[in-house]
Amino acid sequence: MKVLILNGSPRPNGDTAYILGALKSKFPYGTEFESLNTYAANIHPCNDCRYCWEKEGCCIKDEMEILWKDDYDVLIIASPLYMSFVTPPLFSVISRLNHIWSNHYFLKLPGSLKQKKGILILTGGADGSPDPAINIAKTAFRFLNAEFNPALDYIKSLNTNTVSVQDDPDLARQIDITLSHIFGA
Ligand SMILES: Cc1cc2nc3c(=O)[nH]c(=O)nc-3n(C[C@H](O)[C@H](O)[C@H](O)COP(=O)(O)O)c2cc1C
């Protein structure tokens, strides 16, 4: 099994990284992980060049190629909340998924990405209304053909200013629920 992680946090040892580590440690031995740290990656946002209105795919060639290999079974989208949204470089990555929609709408191309499972991780300092971030993650999962159930596949710690993520009393329970759902237990 391969897991692709889109990590939107700029802090390598921050709150999002902590949850990612706790979640990764519970995957079965032998699971392969590949991470795209969106702050470190060189990924351009979509610039509406409209190549994808006429041709298949996207004309920008950069580290987005990791996603187009489509060789992963689980997609984890992880981000701190910034103004209730995902962080800007992660949104740049998500904007680049738009060619999937345009190829389908303008060129009538069928979706070709394999089905996979989605997990969302959000951190926030003070319960900052996560709905905008949840909604954009849902869009990303849908475009990438990842099943996502917000009641089961969403792990959050939204009060990190007051309760450190390491001390979040609900984290282990959320991780267990998500993994039970992912592995069909
Ligand atoms: C620019 C900026 C905007 C933020 N906006 C929010 C917000 O809307 N809601 C919230 O709960 N926390 C907000 N935060 C706090 C972070 O989401 C929080 O500290 C998070 O735990 C950091 O995670 P990290 O260590 O993985 O980067 C913001 C922080 C920054 C720097």
For the chain, which residues make up each domain, given as ranges? Answer: 2-46+66-94+112-182
pLDDT at 65 over 90: yes
What are the pLDDT digits (tens) for 173-184?
999 999 999 998
Average pLDDT, integer, range 136-157: 98
Q: Is the CB of 38 within 6 Å of ligand 1?
A: no
3-state secondary structure of 122: strand
- Of 143, 49, 127, give the one whose Cα is nearest residue 93: 143
Q: Is the CB of 123 within 6 Å of ligand 1?
A: yes
In angstroms, the first-to-last Cα distance of the chain is 17
The mean pLDDT of the chain is: 96
pLDDT at 185 over 70: no
Report CA-CA distances (Å) from 58 to 66, 134, 141, 161, 164: 13, 25, 18, 40, 40
Mutational pocket test of ligand 1: of 11, 76, 79, 82, the residue with most ligand atoms within 8 Å of the beta carbon = 82
Cα(161)–Cα(101) distance, rounded to whole angstroms? 38
Q: Give the nearest ligand 1 atom to 157 CA.
A: 21
pLDDT at 112 over 80: yes
Report CA-CA distances (Å) from 48 to 53, 58, 96, 127: 10, 10, 10, 34
- Residues of the chain with pLDDT > 90, as a percent, come to 96
Average pLDDT, integer, range 96-104: 95
Q: Whose CA is nearest to atom 4 of ligand 1?
A: 82
pLDDT at 145 over 70: yes
For the domain made up of 2-46+66-94+112-182, give the CATH fold.
Rossmann fold (3.40.50)
CA atoms 61, 13, 118, 158: torsion sign: negative
